[in-house]
Structure 1
């Protein structure tokens, strides 16, 4: 599959890669250059491979409160929240951002590899609720504008920053399947740990907006960035990657996102999650290596034994060191604890960090 921006990426000589069935730009110039452009200035990403599912109807709030460990009904219109779908065992199926558009209207953004799975999940659990669920992913594109100079770019193009985890509407040229009006959605969200927004727009408007953003960021030493930089950026900030850092095998407490559990109602997986919370499980942490580049599956060791496993690893362009994310025995999870990470049968020294490795 290809996003509607594929030809624009090709014009920029993007190096493409397959990602969950999509042909996506891995990088344009280099992963490190694109990473540092976002950290220091500004960058844009095509994230149109992500899903878009709407839930509308008089029971929408009650239904989503049942689906999530987060009290979604507490959101005001124009607010959004990070949360996750749990299975009956309290384990994370997928993480997502839920947006409240109105009294009885929401939408959420599943990950690219789980959109159909999540659509079936919510549909199967909607029996008994007066809701209408629609997968509008094939009608929607999304462009992320990220970096410390992102607000300057917004102002130049006549937009305003909506605020962190808030969103607003701006006049567009085409009917938006999510809003049902001539609007684009500008959301104060992202996957880089930098200030920025994500434009959620009809496919017909994507190329024009991409070109305007590309022109604006080029005047600020900004760059278009691919999946490679998106991955290294999120790893430096300890952000989970669905299917890598969890895959229906971890709960929110293990994954260090316990803040999403604030729902005192009867949500899916609640009983098992309460039981798991009292058990002694591993916990998600970051790791900074003295040398070597860690990868998924590397063993984490201490005192001559295995104490955990790396789920994501890379070289940090900011630190110029190998960094990792993974799960570790709680007894060794204190910050600055020394551990070893085995890479190709060689042990490399590392220290434990909070998941947000680059502050």
Structure 2
């Protein structure tokens, strides 16, 4: 179990300090929140590329003859349908249908998967998967401490990874690697050894990009190599502040804000991630019997001006408080305030006029379709 009283740090902490990063405690980890400017880092990802240390994320291997059948039972989606090296976004539900965590699951082989969970939910995810594995022929192995994860995100990300000379022996050209697919390569370490690594075309920014898995002891060398290759192409190190505004513009949920144990998948707009036709999975019975009724649902809100609603701010309809902002910011890309909020279904239709109470002032806000921002193909 991780110690909740003492923030951990990734193997790249020295690099972050050398680059002048400011740090914050995030999910029990001391992580860079910014290096120079939130806005500059955000715009770099939208126009060129950003380099993110996401080694705080949890990696959990599931291996064994029953791996596919087990994950079909343990999570909301149908993991048995994945091809080898395909990934899928899914949910880890509790028996009442609430969300323990949101995950990305990669199929590594016919009998092996890699589950990537949120840093703050590492213990909960490992415990839930381990408990659910009791009646299956599988091994659940928390390998977080042995794997580093680095993301290159932005329209020039493919160009940057291809320019990194130490990344060799690609299993396929990156141009052929589809979204939510994983490729393989070797990393040429400084000591002359070549070690395997994985490149997934996934991300949390709304841009094209890659998440690179490598042995933790070589994370520093990979970070340096990517930065050296990418700086001439506009790559900058980027922190959690930019990552948050990027994912918000892309309408992507954040656990503890849009997701939690008290939120059902349908409320967060994630009903599509639940394979309701599976014979059984944890949370199925609850989802079949729970009647949502007037349970709040997640919507996007846009406003004019510069005053943005933040998490926890009330949402109003006339003189009544009808909901609450879960995430909000002044969008660096769009130039106006955006927010995600939970409101009654009767007020969730696109075009509905609401207001956000920003420190006592009602700021008009309109329900809009998500995402707020969609990259050009």
> Under a length normalisation based on structure 1, what TM-score does the superposition of the two structures give?
0.95
How do residues 72-221 of structure 1 correspond to structure 2 at under 5 angstroms? 72-157=79-164, 160-161=173-174, 162-172=177-187, 182-221=195-234
How many equivalent pairs are there?
Answer: 353
Other-structure match for 1:285: 299
| Aligned residues of 2:93 and 2:99 also touching (Cα < 8 A) | yes
Gaps of 5+ in 1: 175-180
Q: How far has the Cα of 1:280 moved from its partner?
A: 3.5
Other-structure match for 1:54: 61
1:250 to 235, 248, 263: 263
CA–CA separation in structure 1 for the residues paired with 2:343 and 2:300? 9
Q: How far has the Cα of 1:281 moved from its partner?
A: 2.3
Q: How far has the Cα of 1:223 moved from its partner?
A: 1.0
Please state whether the residue corresponding to 1:189 is helix, strand or coil. coil
Closer/same/farther in 2, CA of residues 173 and 57 from structure 1, 3 Å limit: farther
| Aligned residues of 1:94 and 1:111 also touching (Cα < 8 A) | yes
State yes or no: 1:235 paired with 2:248: yes
| Aligned residues of 1:325 and 1:355 also touching (Cα < 8 A) | no
How well do the aligned residues superpose, as a CA RMSD in angstroms? Answer: 1.5
CA–CA separation in structure 1 for the residues paired with 2:126 and 2:84? 23
Other-structure match for 2:354: 339
| Aligned residues of 1:294 and 1:343 also touching (Cα < 8 A) | yes
Question: Which of 14-23 and 34-43 deviates more?
Answer: 14-23
How do residues 16-55 of structure 1 correspond to structure 2 at under 5 angstroms? 16-55=23-62
Q: How far has the Cα of 1:278 moved from its partner?
A: 5.7
CA–CA separation in structure 1 for the residues paired with 2:246 and 2:181? 22
| Aligned residues of 1:296 and 1:310 also touching (Cα < 8 A) | yes
Q: How far has the Cα of 1:275 moved from its partner?
A: 2.6
State yes or no: 1:5 paired with 2:12: yes
CA–CA separation in structure 2 for the residues paired with 1:302 and 1:283? 15
| Aligned residues of 1:173 and 1:205 also touching (Cα < 8 A) | no
State yes or no: 1:327 paired with 2:334: no
CA–CA separation in structure 2 for the residues paired with 1:156 and 1:143? 16
CA–CA separation in structure 2 for the residues paired with 1:255 and 1:216? 39
Other-structure match for 1:178: none
2:322 to 307, 325, 330: 307
- Residue deviations 1:122-175 (CA, integer Å, cap 9, x gap): 11111111111110001111000000111111222255422200001112368x
- Residue deviations 1:12-70 (CA, integer Å, cap 9, x gap): 11111111221111111100000000001111100000000000001111110001121
Gaps of 5+ in 2: 1-7
Q: How far has the Cα of 1:294 moved from its partner?
A: 1.1
> Under a length normalisation based on structure 2, what TM-score does the superposition of the two structures give?
0.90
| Aligned residues of 2:276 and 2:284 also touching (Cα < 8 A) | no
